[in-house]
């Protein structure tokens, strides 16, 4: 576990986002979020400033480019 100084630094950089130390942890949380709800278009991405991984919505431009837009838009 990182020390509190690093943890506070990550919090400031990421605002309200939750930062995960590994991609696997973030993917697990993303799978749990999509399991019970109809939450779609989530992806895991690396945040270079904090050095952690976040779960967020896939940008609209990428969804349109690869045909991932849902019908209920």
Q: Is 71 inside any structural domain?
A: no
Q: Alpha-carbon distance 40 to 20, whole Å?
A: 20
Length of the chain: 73
Q: What is the value of pTM for the model shown?
A: 0.65
Q: Is 70 inside any structural domain?
A: no
pLDDT at position 24: 95
Strand ranges (E), 14-58: 42-47, 52-57
pLDDT at position 46: 93
* Residue pLDDT tens, the chain, 73 long: 566 666 665 556 677 888 899 999 999 988 888 887 666 778 899 988 888 999 988 888 888 888 877 655 4
Q: Is 54 inside any structural domain?
A: yes
First to last CA, the chain: 41
Q: Is 73 inside any structural domain?
A: no
Total number of domains constituting the chain? 1
**Kind and range of the H or E run holding 8:** helix 4-14
Domain that holds residue 26: 4-65
pLDDT at position 73: 44
């Amino acid at each position: 576990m990182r020390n509190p100084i690093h943890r506070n630094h990550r919090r400031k950089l990421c605002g309200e986002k939750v930062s995960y130390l590994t991609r696997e942890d973030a993917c697990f949380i993303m799978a749990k979020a999509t399991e019970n709800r109809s939450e779609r278009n989530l992806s895991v991405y690396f945040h270079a400033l904090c050095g952690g991984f976040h779960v967020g919505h896939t940008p609209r431009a990428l969804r349109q480019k690869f045909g991932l837009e849902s019908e209920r838009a």
